[in-house]
Amino acid sequence: MSRKLSGWTLGLMVLALAPAAAAQRPAAPEGPPRAVVDLLSPEGVAQVGGRWRVHAADLVPLMHRAPDADGQPTGAPVPTTGLAPAAGAAGFDDSGWEAVEPAGLRARRGNGRLSFVWYRIQVTVPERVGDFDPTGSTLLFHTVVDDYAEVWVDGELPRAAGQRGGSVVAGWNAPNRVVVARDVHPGQSIQLAVFGANGPLSDPPANFVWVREARLEFHPGGEPGPYAVVPEEVNLEVVRFDPDLDRVVPANPKLYKLAEGFQFTEGPVWLPKEGVLLFSDPNANRIYRYDPRGDGALSVFRERSGYGGPDLAEYGQPGSNGLALDPQGRLTIDEHGRRRVVRLEPDGRETVLADRFEGRRLNSPNDLVYRSDGSLYFTDPPFGLPRFHDDPRRELDFSGVFLWSGGRLRVVSHELQGPNGIAFSPDERFLYVSDWDPQRKVVMRHAVREDGSLEPGEVFADLGGAPGEEALDGLKVDRGGRVYASGPGGVWIFSPEGRRLGRLVAPRLPANFAWGDDDGRTLYLTARSALYRIRLDVPGSGR
pLDDT band of 375, cuts 50, 70, 90 = very high
Integer Cα distance of 395 and 397 in angstroms:
6
Q: Domain holding 254: CATH number? A: 2.120.10.30
Burial class (CB in 10 A: 0-12, 13-18, 19+), 464: exposed
pLDDT band, very low/low/confident/very high, at 107 (cuts 50, 70, 90)? very high
Report the distance separating Cα 441 and Cα 219, nearest Å. Answer: 43
Residue 251, in any domain of the structure:
yes
Q: What does the pLDDT read at residue 20?
A: 41
> Is 197 found in the same domain as 240?
no
pLDDT at residue 24, rounded to an integer: 64
| DSSP-derived secondary structure for 30-95 | -S--SEEEETTSHHHHHHTT--EEEEEEEEEEEEEEEE-TTS-EEEEEEEEEEEE----STT---T
- Residue range of the domain that includes 336: 7-23+228-535
* Residue 414 reports pLDDT greater than 50: yes
Tell me: do 181 and 234 sit in the same domain.
no
What's the pLDDT tens digit per position in 57-84? 999 999 999 999 999 999 999 999 999 9
Residue at which a domain ends, from 219, 241, 272? 219
Final residue belonging to a domain, choices 197, 219, 241: 219
* One domain, residues 203 and 343: no
Mean pLDDT calculated for residue range 440-464? 97
469 burial (CB, 10 Å; 0-12 / 13-18 / 19+) is: exposed
The stretch 259-263 carries a mean pLDDT of: 95
Closest among 212, 45, 53, 215 to 144, alpha carbons compared? 212
Contact assessment for residue 14 and residue 302, using Cβ atoms and an 8 Å cutoff = no
Average pLDDT of 82-88? 97
pLDDT per residue as tens digits for the range 218-236: 999 766 789 999 999 999 9
Distance between CA atoms of residues 401 and 417, nearest Å? 11
Same domain (yes/no): 85, 45? yes
The secondary structure of 323-350, three-state, reads EEECCCCCEEEEECCCCEEEEECCCCCE
542 domain residue, yes or no? no
Mean pLDDT of the chain: 93
Alpha-carbon gap, residue 508 to 540, rounded angstroms = 22
Residues 371 and 340 in one domain: yes
pLDDT, tens digit (0-9, with 9 covering 90-100), for 28-59: 777 899 999 999 999 999 999 999 999 999 99
pLDDT at 469: 77
Residues 398 and 315 in one domain: yes
User: What confidence score (pLDDT) does residue 14 get?
Assistant: 41
Q: What is the pLDDT of residue 29?
A: 79
Q: What's the 3-state SS for 226-288?
A: CEEEEEEEECCEEEECCHHHHHCCCCCCCEEEEEEEEEEEEEEEEECCCCEEEEEECCCCEEE
The answer to pTM > 0.85 is: yes
Looking at the structure, tell me whether residues 409 and 526 fall in a common domain. yes
Q: Does 17 share its domain with 61? A: no
Q: What separation in angstroms does the CA of 454 have from each of 249, 413, 463, 497?
A: 32, 7, 23, 19
Q: Is residue 110 part of a domain?
A: yes
Q: What percent of the chain has pLDDT over 90?
A: 90
Q: Provide the domain count of the chain.
A: 2
Grade residue 380 by pLDDT with cuts at 50, 70 and 90: very high
Secondary structure (DSSP) of 283-324: TTTEEEEEE-STT-EEEEEEESSS---TTGGG-SS-SEEEEE
Q: Indicate if the pLDDT at residue 25 is higher than 70.
A: no
Mean pLDDT, range 114-133, rounded to an integer: 97
The verdict on residue 1 lying in a domain is no
Q: Report yes or no on 264 lying in a domain.
A: yes
Asked if residue 272 and residue 183 are part of one domain, the reply reads no
Domain end call among 219, 238, 270: 219
Does the pLDDT value for residue 10 go beyond 50?
Answer: no
pLDDT of residue 164: 81
- Residue 540 within a domain: no
CATH number, domain with residue 100: 2.60.120.260
Compute the C-alpha angle 505/255/461, nearest 5°: 35
Examine the domain organization and report whether 211 and 342 are in the same domain. Answer: no
pLDDT, greater one: 19 or 459: 459
* For residue 239, pLDDT beyond 50: yes
Cis omega (within 30 of 0) for bond into 310: no
- Residues 63 and 210 reside in one and the same domain: yes
Residue 183 is assigned to a structural domain of this protein: yes
* Shared-domain flag, residues 241 and 378: yes
Smallest CA-to-CA distance from 356 within 375, 339, 337 is with: 339
| Res. 397 pLDDT band, cuts 50 70 90 | very high
Per-residue pLDDT averaged across 257-271, rounded?
97
Asked whether residue 541 is assigned to any structural domain, the reply reads no
pLDDT computed for residue 23 by the predictor: 55
As a whole number, mean pLDDT of residues 386-410 equals: 97
Residue 165's pLDDT band (cuts 50, 70, 90)? confident
